[in-house]
């Protein structure tokens, strides 16, 4: 069966998008992982599907590259917002769209430069968690920005890919974060209001060029630990820059917004029989 797809990328984080509002596409773990395979399929960090939500707003369903379902994806949601808008969904005059995710309702604003989205209210915040890996002790911080993230600080820019994967995987699968596991963000400050981040993503099981929910988690933890104020600019592995805006009341964050590039790469058809 041939299906029509759109390939998009947000700051180097790439996605396949499918319109399944007519329920004509039957997906399973094997088909999703095939579509995301960079050698045998289209290739992507994840798959985004439009489904019918309630009477007024569509639903975004997100799958990792391994076929597992995740409740949210920040860069994916920004791409999804542009995808919907280009299909005529939303308020065309205000260049605004809204949709439902497994993590809650999201609103997006589209411009030529990029896409802004609201991020579901962060939860499960824990700071200064001692984490032992073999003979090393790390201090990490945990927050859920739609999906669970761990943040640790240090200069990891020149860490080799093999070493990065090994360290990221050991934290991702650590006993302290079972059963769901966690994404892992390695963060270092480069200017007064700017950080860099490398992210190990669960479901991809490796480093991605960007991670929107990870960027958000890294910025919010940088505010709490390093005293940085909103907005915080975040440089990702692709070389692109994103911004995180937020307000804070005590330990709770409100009005969290993620902004960055989101572009269509190409469209096509593929046989998933």
pLDDT of residue 247 exceeding 90: yes
Distances (CA, A) of 225 to 87, 124, 140, 212: 41, 16, 11, 20
Which one of 32, 119, 211, 258 is the catalytic residue?
Answer: 211
- Give the per-residue pLDDT at 54: 72
Binding residues: 13, 64, 74-75, 183, 201-202, 212-213
The predicted model scores a pTM of 0.94
pLDDT at residue 7, rounded to an integer: 98
Cα–Cα distance between 230 and 245 in angstroms, integer?
5
DSSP single-letter state for residue 91? B
Calculate helix-pair angle for 74-86, 212-226, nearest 10 degrees: 130
Annotated binding site for substrate: 13, 64, 74-75, 183, 201-202, 212-213
211 with 201: CB under 8 angstroms?
yes
3-state DSSP call for residue 1? coil
Listed in sequence order, the residues at least 6 apart from 136 whose beta carbon sits closer than 8 Å to its beta carbon are none
Catalytic residue among 3, 44, 50, 73: 73
The whole-angstrom separation of Cα 11 and Cα 5 is 20
Locate 209 and state its tokens: 């060029």
| Cβ atoms of residues 256 and 118 within 8 Å | yes
Tens digit of pLDDT for each residue in 12-35?
999 999 999 999 999 999 999 999
Helix, strand, or coil (residue 32): helix
The residues that bridge with 233 in the sheet, in sequence order, are 194, 243
Rounded Cα–Cα distance for residues 257 and 122 (Å): 11
Question: 79 catalytic, yes or no?
Answer: no
Give all domains of the chain, ordered by start, each with its CATH number. Answer: 2-118+262-271 (3.10.310.10), 123-260 (3.10.310.10)
Distances (CA, A) of 52 to 49, 100, 145, 146, 264: 10, 10, 24, 21, 22
pLDDT in tens, 98-148: 999 999 999 999 999 899 999 999 999 999 999 999 889 999 999 999 999
Q: What is the pLDDT of residues 163-212, one digit of tens each?
A: 999 999 999 999 999 999 999 999 999 999 999 999 999 999 999 999 99
Query: Which run of H or E residues covers position 83?
Result: helix 74-86
Q: How far apart (Å, rounded) are the C-alpha atoms in residues 243 and 229?
A: 12
* pLDDT band per the 50, 70, 90 thresholds, residue 53: confident
Average pLDDT over residues 1-6: 94
């Amino acid at each position: 069966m041939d299906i029509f797809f759109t390939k998009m990328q947000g700051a180097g984080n790439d996605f396949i998008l499918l319109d399944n509002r007519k329920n004509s596409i039957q997906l399973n773990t094997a088909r999703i992982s095939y579509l995301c395979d960079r050698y045998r399929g289209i290739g992507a960090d994840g798959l985004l599907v439009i489904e019918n939500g309630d009477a007024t707003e569509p639903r975004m369903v997100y799958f990792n590259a391994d076929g597992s379902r995740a409740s949210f994806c920040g860069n994916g949601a920004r791409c999804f917002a542009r995808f919907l808008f280009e299909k005529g969904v939303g308020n065309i005059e205000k260049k605004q769209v809204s949709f439902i995710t497994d993590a809650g309702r999201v609103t997006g604003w589209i411009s030529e430069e990029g896409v802004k989205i609201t991020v579901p209210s962060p939860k499960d915040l824990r700071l200064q968690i001692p984490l032992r890996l073999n003979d090393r002790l790390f201090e990490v911080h945990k927050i859920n920005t739609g999906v669970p993230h761990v943040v640790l600080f240090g200069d990891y820019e020149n860490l080799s890919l093999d070493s990065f994967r090994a360290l990221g995987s050991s934290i991702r699968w650590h006993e302290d974060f079972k059963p769901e596991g966690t994404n892992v963000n390695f963060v270092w400050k480069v200017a007064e209001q700017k950080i860099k981040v490398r992210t190990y993503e669960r479901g991809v099981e490796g480093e991605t060029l960007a991670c929107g929910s990870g960027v958000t988690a890294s910025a919010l933890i940088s505010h709490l630990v390093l005293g940085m104020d909103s907005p915080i600019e975040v440089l990702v592995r692709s070389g692109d820059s994103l911004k995180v805006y937020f307000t804070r009341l005590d330990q709770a964050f409100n009005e969290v917004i993620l902004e960055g590039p989101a572009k269509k790469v190409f469209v096509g058809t593929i046989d998933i029989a």
